[in-house]
Amino acid sequence: MAVRVLCQFTAKRGDLDLRFTPAPSAREGIAGHLIVAGRRGRDYETEVTLEDTFDSLRVRGRADGYDSKERRVDECKTYRGDLARMPDNHRALHWAQAKMYGAMLCRKHQLRELRVALVYYDVDTEHETVLAETHPAEALLAFFDEHCAQYAAWAQSELAHKTTRNQALQAMSFPYEFYPAQRQLAESVYRAAVHGEHLLAQAPTGVGKTLGTLFPMLKAMGAKKIDRIFYLAAKTTGRELALHALHALASTMKLRVLEITAREKVCKYPDHACHGESCPLAKRFYDRLPGARAEALERGVMDQKTIGAVAMNHRVCPYFLSQELARWSDVIIGDYNYYFDQSAFLYGLAQEQGWRVGVLVDEAHNLVERARRMYSASIATESLKRAKKEAPPLLRNVIERVGKEFQRLANAQQAPYQVYEQAPKSLMKALDDYISKQSALSDQAVLLPEPVQDLFFDALSFYSLAEEFAEHSVFDVTTPDYATYTIRNIVPAPFLKLRFANSQSVVLFSATLTPRKFYLDLLGLPDTTRWLDVESPFSPEQLEVQLVQHISTRYQHRDNSIAPIAELIVKQFERAPGNYLVFASSFDYVARIAEQLDRIAPQIPNRLQHRQMTESERKEFLDGFAAGSQCIGLAVLGGAFGEGVDLPGERMIGAFIATLGLPQLNEITEQMRLRMDDLFGAGYDYTYLYPGLHKVIQAAGRVIRTREDRGVVYLIDDRYTRPEVRELLPKWWQPRRERR
Ligand code: SF4
C-alpha cells in the first residue's frame, strides 16, 4: 500500500474546498523538487525509498528528502498562488504523509526523535516556506500504527465484501426465463468481458438488453476478470432501467450499486460555492465522511434518493459524497460524460486505481453526437462583452485583447459562415495571456462574477482543444448578429481511442448500430472489436411496414405533402382506431399536419409536441396514450419522444414517419460532409443517411414493445424504396409498398 493512498483514506480532515487553485504542471513540479534538493547540503538524500509493515499490511513510499546530519525528513510540495489559501484538508494530508515517512525512517535508523518538515516551494517566486516540527520516535510510530490500523480494518472489510460478493456472483443464476436472443447477447458480453475485448451489439427492442448485458458482466466480475462495472446511459430512463434491474440482484449478491447524478440536480445550496466558508455541507466534510460512507455502503443500492438521505443524516454534500463512494462501489450508473468527457471522473478514477473496468454503453448510437459535443468548444462575442463589463480592471485589458483578436477574424470574413485552417497564433497568444492572468487571480476566482468565470472555463476548453486541433475538427466562425467562434469536433475517434484501450471491455449496445464501420470509424474502436447482430424476438407479422412512395417530404415539396399525409393518417385511423404517433422533421411541419388533421377530421383528438416541454409536460403528453384511448400524437423526429419511450400494447398501435430523418442542410452539416468525405470517402452516408435512418428506426421502435404487440409503421417518402435505404432497415421488417 502506497503511503499517499493510505493517507488519502485516513488523514483527510476538515472542509471540502473546491476553490480553484492553479496547480503547477508535472514538469514544474519535478523542476521545483530539483531546485529544493540543490539548495540542501551534502548529507541530503533525495527520493528515499522506505518500506514497513503493520500486521499483514505492507506500506511503501518515497520520502522527498532526508538530511541525516540534521535528522530531518522533508515532504516537498510545489504550489502557485497564496499559500495561506491552501485548503486545510490538503495541509492535513501533507503532514500525515510526512509523519508516516518520519516513522518509517525512525524505525529504519533506530532514531529517538526526528524533525518532520513540510517544504512548500512557490514555482513562480522560487520562494520556500518550511514548516517543521520535532517529534519523538514513539509518537511517530504510534501515528503510523494508528493510521495503518484504521486502513487495515477497512481493507479487511473490503476484502471480505469482495469475497462474499464474488461467491454470490458465481452462484447467481439468471432471475427470469432466458429468451434465446437475450442468451445470445449475454454470452457474447461474457466472452468479451473475460477475453478483454470490446463488443458492438445491435439488439432490437424487446431483447431485454439491460439485464442481458448486466448479468454477464456481473458474472465476469464474480470470475475476477473485472474489478468494476460502469453502466453508462445518455438518458435518465436508461439509468432507471439499470437501477431497477440491479435492485433485484443487489440484496442477495451483496452488491454495492451507485448512481452518480449531475451536481446541478443534487446540490442543496446552488447559490453557494463549494467550500466550508460558503456551504454548510462542505464544512467538516472530511470529518463526517467516514460515518456517511459506512452508512451509504451498508444500504447496497445507493441511488440518488438514498445518497440524499444519508448525506442529510451526516450533513455532508450529496454530490461529493457520491464521488467518494465511487471508490468503493461495484457497479456505477451514470451519464456517458463520466467516462468519455475531456476530464471524465470515472475514467480518471479507474486509471488512478488501476481497475480493470467493464463498461456498458446503453443506446450507444447516441455516443457519436454526445462525444462530438464533449470535444467542441465555443466562445461568443456576447459572452466576451458580458465578461469584460463585469471583470475587475486587472482582467479587462486581456479580455479586450481576446475580443479584438476574434473580431479581426469576423471583420475580414466575406460570408456569414467561414471555416479556418486553425485558430491564428495571435489569438492563441491572447487567450493564453488571459487564462494565465485569471489563473493568477485564482484565490479571488470565487468572487469573480459569473460571466467572468463562465468565460474562463470556455476559454480553457477552447484553448486546450485548439492545441489538439487536427483533421478531426474544424474551426469556424459564424457572424450573423453576434459572432461565435467554435472548435467543432466532427470525428471524436482520436479522443476516445485511449478510453477503449484502457478498459478491459467496453460493450456498446443499441437497436441501431448499422453499419458497424461507421461506429468503428467515428468512435475510434479498434478493428478487433467484436460485432453481434442479435435476432429480433418479434415476428414480421407483428409489424406491418408500409412504404409510402407517392409523397415526397423534401423541403421544396413540403407544402404539397401536408394534405396527403393527413389523409393517410385519417384513413389508417378509421381502419383501426387507436393511439398513433406521427413524426416529422420540424415543429413547423408537425404543426401544419396537426392543423390539416383538425380541418379534415376534427373528431380525432390530437396532441402536439411543443418546443422545450418540461418533464411534467412530457409525462402528461405520454399519459394521454392510455390503453383504450384513441389519439394522434405529433412529434419531431429525433426529439424527446423519438426514443426511450415505452408505450406497450394498445398504448401505441402505429407510427407515421414523414421524413427520412436527414440532418438539416446547412453550412455546418455540409462542412461535416466534406470532412467525412476526405477521411472516410463516405460524406453523404456518414453525415446524412446513417444518422437519419437511425432516428427513423428508433422512432418506429416505439410501436412494438412486447411479444404480444401488433402495429403498423408508415415510412412516408419516395426515397424509402431506394435499395441503399432499404438495406439499412431492420432485417426482420418486411416492408411493402403502400396499398392505395
Ligand atoms: S451542496 Fe452544492 S454548494 Fe454545497 S458543496 Fe455540495 S455542490 Fe457545492
254: left (phi over 0), alpha (psi -120 to 50) or beta: left
Protein residue with its CA nearest to atom 6 in ligand 1 = 317
Distance CA 102, CA 50 (A): 10
- Picking from 356, 57, 50, 436, the residue whose alpha carbon sits closest to that of residue 195 is 356
- Picking from 685, 688, 714, 689, the residue whose alpha carbon sits closest to that of residue 549 is 714
Q: Which uninterrupted H or E stretch holds 671?
A: helix 667-680
> What spacing in Å lies between the alpha carbon of 15 and ligand 1's midpoint?
12
> What spacing in Å lies between the alpha carbon of 566 and ligand 1's midpoint?
51
What pLDDT score does 448 carry? 77
Band the pLDDT of 443: cuts 50, 70, 90.
low
Q: What would the grid cell of residue 543 be?
A: 409489424
Q: Choose the residue to mutate in 15, 275, 289, 320 for probing ligand 1, maximizing ligand atoms within 8 Å of C-beta.
A: 320
Q: Using the atom order of ligand 1, give the atom closest to the CA of residue 317.
A: 6
If DSSP states are collapsed to H, E and C, what string results for 420-453?
ECCCCHHHHHHHHHHHHHHHHCHHHHHHCCHHHH
Protein residue with its CA nearest to atom 5 in ligand 1 = 274
DSSP state of 703: T
> What spacing in Å lies between the alpha carbon of 307 and ligand 1's midpoint?
14
What pLDDT score does 29 carry? 85
DSSP string, 448-471: S-HHHHHHHHHHHHHHHHHHT-ST
Q: Using the atom order of ligand 1, give the atom closest to the CA of residue 263.
A: 7
Assigned CATH for 185-255+330-375+492-536: 3.40.50.300
> What spacing in Å lies between the alpha carbon of 273 and ligand 1's midpoint?
7
Q: Using the atom order of ligand 1, give the atom closest to the CA of residue 282.
A: 5
Q: Choose the residue to mutate in 272, 285, 323 for probing ligand 1, maximizing ligand atoms within 8 Å of C-beta.
A: 272
Does the pLDDT at position 117 exceed 80?
yes
Residue 360 near residue 217, CB atoms below 8 Å: yes
> What spacing in Å lies between the alpha carbon of 278 and ligand 1's midpoint?
9
Task: Report the length, in residues, of the chain.
Answer: 740
- Picking from 186, 210, 207, 176, the residue whose alpha carbon sits closest to that of residue 536 is 207
Q: What would the grid cell of residue 621 be?
A: 403528453
Q: What distances in angstroms separate CA 609 from CA 233, 594, 642, one per listed residue?
A: 24, 10, 11
Report the percentage of the chain scoring pLDDT > 90: 75
Mean pLDDT of 197-207: 92
Mean pLDDT of 605-623: 91
Q: Using the atom order of ligand 1, give the atom closest to the CA of residue 320.
A: 6
Distance CA 561, CA 716 (A): 10
Protein residue with its CA nearest to atom 7 in ligand 1 = 267
Give CATH superfamily name and number for 540-737.
P-loop containing nucleotide triphosphate hydrolases (3.40.50.300)
Band the pLDDT of 445: cuts 50, 70, 90.
very low
Q: Choose the residue to mutate in 17, 263, 267 for probing ligand 1, maximizing ligand atoms within 8 Å of C-beta.
A: 267
Q: What would the grid cell of residue 232 be?
A: 453508462
- Picking from 528, 469, 533, the residue whose alpha carbon sits closest to that of residue 500 is 528
Report the percentage of the chain scoring pLDDT > 70: 98
The residues lining ligand 1, judged by C-beta closer than 6 Å to any ligand atom, are 16, 263, 267-269, 272, 274, 279, 281-282, 317, 319-320
> What spacing in Å lies between the alpha carbon of 322 and ligand 1's midpoint?
12
Domain ranges of the chain: 3-153, 185-255+330-375+492-536, 264-327, 376-489, 540-737
376-489: CATH topology: Fumarase C; Chain B, domain 1 (1.10.275)
> What spacing in Å lies between the alpha carbon of 282 and ligand 1's midpoint?
7
> What spacing in Å lies between the alpha carbon of 280 and ligand 1's midpoint?
8
Mean pLDDT of 252-268: 92
Does the pLDDT at position 139 exceed 70?
yes
Report the alpha-carbon angle 301-306-311, nearest 5: 125
286: left (phi over 0), alpha (psi -120 to 50) or beta: alpha
Q: Please list, in sequence order, all residues whose beta carbon lies within 8 angstroms of the beta carbon of residue 441, skipping any fewer than 6 positions away.
A: 392, 394, 395, 448
Does the pLDDT at position 510 exceed 50?
yes
- Same fold yes or no, 185-255+330-375+492-536 and 376-489: no
Protein residue with its CA nearest to atom 2 in ligand 1 = 267
Does the pLDDT at position 353 exceed 60?
yes
In 3-state terms, what secondary structure has residue 251?
helix
Does the pLDDT at position 262 exceed 90?
yes
Does the pLDDT at position 20 exceed 70?
no
Protein residue with its CA nearest to atom 8 in ligand 1 = 274
Sheet of 543-548: strands edge to edge?
Answer: 606-608, 631-636, 579-584, 654-657, 711-716, 543-548, 736-737
Band the pLDDT of 537: cuts 50, 70, 90.
confident
> What spacing in Å lies between the alpha carbon of 279 and ligand 1's midpoint?
6
> What spacing in Å lies between the alpha carbon of 318 and ligand 1's midpoint?
8
> What spacing in Å lies between the alpha carbon of 261 and ligand 1's midpoint?
13
| pLDDT tens track for 39-78 | 988 889 999 999 999 998 999 999 999 999 999 999 999 9
Q: Please list, in sequence order, all residues whose beta carbon lies within 8 angstroms of the beta carbon of residue 672, skipping any fewer than 6 positions away.
A: 490, 687
How does the average pLDDT of the chain come out, rounded?
92
Q: Using the atom order of ligand 1, give the atom closest to the CA of residue 272.
A: 3
pTM (2 decimals)?
A: 0.89
Mean pLDDT of 451-475: 94
What pLDDT score does 553 carry? 95
| pLDDT tens track for 686-715 | 999 999 999 999 999 888 888 888 999 999
Q: What distances in angstroms separate CA 522 from CA 285, 373, 495, 613, one per listed residue?
A: 42, 13, 10, 31
Does the pLDDT at position 429 exceed 60?
yes
What pLDDT score does 179 carry? 85
Does the pLDDT at position 439 exceed 90?
no
> What spacing in Å lies between the alpha carbon of 386 and ligand 1's midpoint?
26
Does the pLDDT at position 444 exceed 60?
no
How much is the CA Rg of the chain, to the nearest whole Å?
30
First-to-last alpha carbon distance for the chain, in angstroms, is 75
| pLDDT tens track for 645-690 | 888 889 999 999 999 999 999 999 999 999 999 999 999 999 999 9
| pLDDT tens track for 293-347 | 999 999 999 999 999 999 999 999 999 999 999 999 999 999 999 999 998 999 9
Q: Which uninterrupted H or E stretch holds 715?
A: strand 711-716
